[in-house]
Amino acid sequence: MKLKHTLVGLTLACTVLIAPMTVADDGYNMWPGTSYNNSIPTHAQILGYNIGDNITSHSDMLKFFEALQHAAPDRMKMIEYGRTWEGRKLVYIAIGSPENIANLDQFAADMQKLANPAVTNSATAKEMASRMPSSVWLAYGVHGNEISSTDAAMMTAYHLLAAPDDATNKKILANTIVFIDPAQNPDGRDRFTTRYYSAVGMEDSADRLSAEQNEPWPKGRSNHYLFDMNRDWLAVTQPETKGRIKALNHYKPLVVIDLHEMDGDQSYFFAPNAEPVNPNITQTQINNMNDIGKNNGKHFDRFGFDYFTREIFDSFYPGYGDNWPIYYGASAATYEVSSARGEKYRKSTGEVMSYKYTVQEHFVASISTAEGVANAREKLLGDFYDYQVSAIAEGKANKTDRVFIMPNIRDKAGNHRLATLMAEHGLEVRQADNSFKACGVNYNTGAYYIDTAQPRGRFAKTTFTKQVDMSDAFIKEQERRRARKLEDEIYDVTGWSLPLIFNIDTDACGSEIKVASHSVSADDVMSGKVNNPNASVAYIVPWGDMAAGHFLTAALRAGLTVKSSDKAFTLDGNKNYPAGSLVVEVRSNGDDLASNVASIAADSGASVEGTNTSWVTKGPSFGSGNMVTMVAPKIAMAWDEPTSSLSAGNARFVIERQLNYPVTAIRTPMLKEADLSAYQVLILPEGD
């Protein structure tokens, strides 16, 4: 393994003393003929190796970008957008002309204006498009073991900063702000790189049987909680996803590319995408990506790179990183390069592919894409504004499901979570301040609704509609293939209705809703309440709401004695409670019970009802055997092969981060001999 580390401070001090000059190569031969300015520090100076000679760790990546920013602060800005579960920085980089970087905040404000036809008319939008820069967001490495993308991101940034007079770069920098998210999954990446280099022997092996070519459980693809984060864009559960969505909604870049790796025997994929295409994507968006794909093809021909289009990777599911931005008006796509799985990989043809080669392909595609965006600057800005206008018009013309309504009768916490989630996605979500009638149905105060006559209306339509149909021609072809016992051509997810996922009741109405209401924010907190806070007998939490589950785990961790009713019961002849309802008796808890209950209710969002009587007229009394005292369980989970890492990680996340309850992960080989008597719950995730 090669040495990577140098003293950054000494390096930066040296670069200040070096008079600006140019060199033709210095390890950078990925865009032949380019002369690079020595005022920008190189990989070798900062990290001790040339680009593509090592798989860069997350910490070294940050070190390199910090050095670039130090050398060119007027043309590059690095911004932290979050932290991973393991505490690693999530950053994006903005690169452009000094004027555009200085006016980055104004650019974001102008994009918000273009995204809102209610405040920006067509004449103003046209004037803005004539002077504003375009923008491209290049996102790398959402899967941590798809390794080449982060080094390609570093090369892309270096190339733009160190060769500003290159003809292609000059065009890009004059017309476009290039946003780079260099490592979307730092935890997974470092898991991969650490294990890879710990397995390397005297030299890197290209043999598919070698230890470094075969990752142990869990692979580096997923993040700390073993989420496949390219499937988290709809649910938005992970800090990495939350930060990215916030940043994308802030700048609304016109073109978004998600750079991946695929099987090492493949070549390279970029748009046009395969069928099926989600019907809520516009033809203009498709055409824009096709034009950029054509520009990529021109450069790949020049470099002699193989590639393919219109196969495998479709645009149907809206919850990928390459599809989610489409629904605020961007043109977007995935790029896939064959993976070296390390520093060398022997293809089935016998050819040995180097890591550096895969880095170069992603780098060339990145620069080519930025060039395509620069070439279409004014058109892309105009198309973005037109998307917002057409989305509003399309919503108004919809006479069947213009508005999606969440009555908010059953599971108020679930309704609140879904409403605030849609606001986090960037939609206008409203909650009624009064009761109202819509399409012949009466709704109570507190009902949520989303009118699709808004710029993000197509996102509401594609995520709230229970069934999004594929084209008849595509379905017919799949039936033909099935009859011939051929595999289907669907890449992955085909169903994703958010109300069904959250088990929330929704209605659709074809008319505009007119009722006093207020806007829902992604940051809105559902604060619980306690009726009769100084109850003399007990506090009851009705079951059937996810907030009740949060109350239970918090109460058990706080050491409260809690009972749960196995059957429904009626208190004092007039108040009905469903089975599962929680009973926290005053006599069984300490003097500070009232304050503890109030605090837990506020944090969990639960509705708690105090009672001054225990007289039950139907169902079990508080002292019945059907009122079971809950035990704070110790939970163990099988962790390691042969469990599915996604199943194990997701289950652990829900318990620990959504229910706020600890889990002990036990390596599966230990289970056959371990004394598990201290645990009341053992979770066996799905197996691979």
In this predicted model, what pLDDT tens digit does every residue of 551-575 receive, in sequence order? Answer: 999 999 999 999 999 999 999 888 9
Give pLDDT, residue 454.
98
Pick the CATH number of 529-629 from 3.30.70, 1.10.10, 3.90.550, 3.40.50: 3.30.70
Six token digits for residue 316? 């149907």
CB 94 within 8 Å of CB 107: no
Give pLDDT, residue 688.
83
Q: Which residues have a Cβ under 8 Å from the Cβ of 330 and sit 6 or more positions away?
A: 137, 252, 253, 254, 255, 256, 285, 384
Task: Using the predicted structure, report yes or no on whether residue 521 has a pLDDT greater than 70.
Answer: yes
pLDDT digits (tens, 9 = 90+) for 493-520: 999 999 999 999 999 999 999 999 999 9
pLDDT digits (tens, 9 = 90+) for 183-211: 999 999 999 999 999 999 999 999 999 99
Q: Which residues have a Cβ under 8 Å from the Cβ of 654 and sit 6 or more positions away?
A: none
Helix (H, G, I), strand (E, B) or coil at 311: coil
Give pLDDT, residue 545.
87
Q: What is the pTM of this model?
A: 0.94
Helix (H, G, I), strand (E, B) or coil at 36: strand
Give pLDDT, residue 23.
54
Instruction: Give the span between the Cα atoms of 416 and 278, in whole angstroms.
Output: 28
pLDDT digits (tens, 9 = 90+) for 273-331: 999 999 999 999 999 999 999 999 999 999 999 999 999 999 999 999 999 999 999 99
Give the torsion through C-alpha atoms of 227, 228, 229, 233, to 10 deg.
-100
Give pLDDT, residue 596.
97
Integer angstrom CA distances of residue 395 from 283, 428, 453, 456, 461? 17, 13, 4, 10, 9
Angle, helices 283-303 vs 377-397, to 10°: value is 150
> Which DSSP string corresponds to 234-276?
TT--SHHHHHHHHHHHHH--SEEEEEEEE-TTS-EE-SSPEEE
Give pLDDT, residue 326.
98
Rg (CA), the chain: 28
CA pseudo-torsion sign 346, 33, 47, 260 = negative
| Amino acid occupying residue 637 | M
Instruction: Give the span between the Cα atoms of 324 and 291, in whole angstroms.
Output: 20
Average pLDDT over residues 71-76: 98
pLDDT digits (tens, 9 = 90+) for 589-641: 999 999 999 999 999 999 999 999 999 999 999 999 999 999 999 999 999 99
Q: What is the CATH number of domain 8-97+131-373?
A: 3.40.630.10
**Residue limits of CATH 3.40.630.10 in the chain:** 8-97+131-373
Average pLDDT over residues 239-258: 98
Average pLDDT over residues 339-357: 96
CB 77 within 8 Å of CB 94: yes
Instruction: Give the span between the Cα atoms of 584 and 630, in whole angstroms.
Output: 10
Instruction: Give the span between the Cα atoms of 273 and 275, in whole angstroms.
Output: 7
Six token digits for residue 597? 């209950």
Give pLDDT, residue 11.
41
Cβ atoms within 10 Å of 5's Cβ, excluding its own: 12
**Residue 623 main-chain phi, psi, to 5 deg:** -95, 5
**Residue limits of CATH 3.30.70 in the chain:** 529-629
Task: Using the predicted structure, report yes or no on whether residue 15 has a pLDDT greater than 50.
Answer: no
Give pLDDT, residue 7.
39
Give pLDDT, residue 4.
38
Give pLDDT, residue 364.
98
Q: Which residues have a Cβ under 8 Å from the Cβ of 479 and sit 6 or more positions away?
A: none
Q: What percent of the chain has pLDDT over 90?
A: 94
**Residue 430 main-chain phi, psi, to 5 deg:** -125, 150
Task: Using the predicted structure, report yes or no on whether residue 16 has a pLDDT greater than 60.
Answer: no
Give pLDDT, residue 27.
75
| Amino acid occupying residue 211 | A
Average pLDDT over residues 4-32: 54
Task: Using the predicted structure, report yes or no on whether residue 9 has a pLDDT greater than 60.
Answer: no
Instruction: Give the span between the Cα atoms of 663 and 660, in whole angstroms.
Output: 10
Instruction: Give the span between the Cα atoms of 588 and 240, in whole angstroms.
Output: 43
Task: Using the predicted structure, report yes or no on whether residue 26 has a pLDDT greater than 70.
Answer: no
Give pLDDT, residue 13.
37
Average pLDDT over residues 98-111: 98
